[in-house]
């Protein structure tokens, strides 16, 4: 989604391009990982924006397909900008919490199999991975606690 298009996209859905909206969108497009509403709120630098407004805008952006909501088994949801031609999943380190993108998506390959098995028409899916990042790999020379 080119920056210019967001205004049109919003207009098509009878939504205004407000200062808060633009700033939130900018923050999301700049971030390399999905952010929580609170993180986004803390990154807002311009005029004061209420946290409730952040929530309202995230929902609005999600509803019109500009933003994706992600559940990484935390107490809150994370949000990320949906960029054109980009199908991304995530992997989070169970030790340090680091979050990385996974561009490899097998779900598309198995879509037919899933549709055949379930009889459903597949519209969307969530795929989040959890593991241990390179920096947190246990050393083989030293015992690790559980």
Write out the residues near its own copies by the rule CB under 8 A. Answer: 69, 71, 73, 91, 93-94, 100, 102-104, 106-107, 109-110, 113-115, 117-134, 137
Partner touching 93 among DNA, its own copies, none, CB below 5 to 8 Å by kind:
its own copies
Q: CA-to-CA distance for 69 and 119, rounded, in angstroms?
A: 26
Beta strand 89-93 with 99-102 is antiparallel
Among the listed residues 3, 5, 42, 50, the single contact to DNA using CB under 7 A: 50
Contact 33, 79 (CB under 8 A): no
Asked if 73 interacts with DNA (CB under 7 A), we say no
Instruction: Give me the least distance between CB of 4 and DNA, in Å please.
Output: 13
Asked if 55 interacts with DNA (CB under 7 A), we say yes
Q: Within 10 Å of residue 58's Cβ, how many Cβ atoms? A: 22
């Amino acid at each position: 989604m080119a920056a210019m298009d967001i205004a049109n996209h919003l207009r098509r859905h009878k939504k205004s391009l407000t200062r808060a909206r633009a700033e939130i969108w900018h923050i999301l497009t700049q971030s390399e990982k999905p952010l929580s509403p609170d993180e986004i709120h803390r990154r807002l630098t311009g005029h004061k924006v209420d946290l409730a407004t952040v929530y309202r805008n995230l929902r609005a952006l999600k509803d019109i397909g500009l933003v994706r909501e992600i559940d990484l088994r935390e107490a809150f949801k994370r949000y990320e900008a949906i960029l054109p031609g980009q199908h991304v999943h995530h992997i989070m380190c169970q030790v340090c919490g680091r979050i990385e993108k996974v561009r490899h998506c097998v779900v598309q390959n198995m879509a037919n199999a899933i549709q055949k098995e379930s009889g459903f028409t597949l519209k969307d899916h969530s795929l989040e991975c959890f593991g241990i990042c390179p920096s947190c790999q246990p050393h083989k020379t030293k015992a690790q606690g559980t």
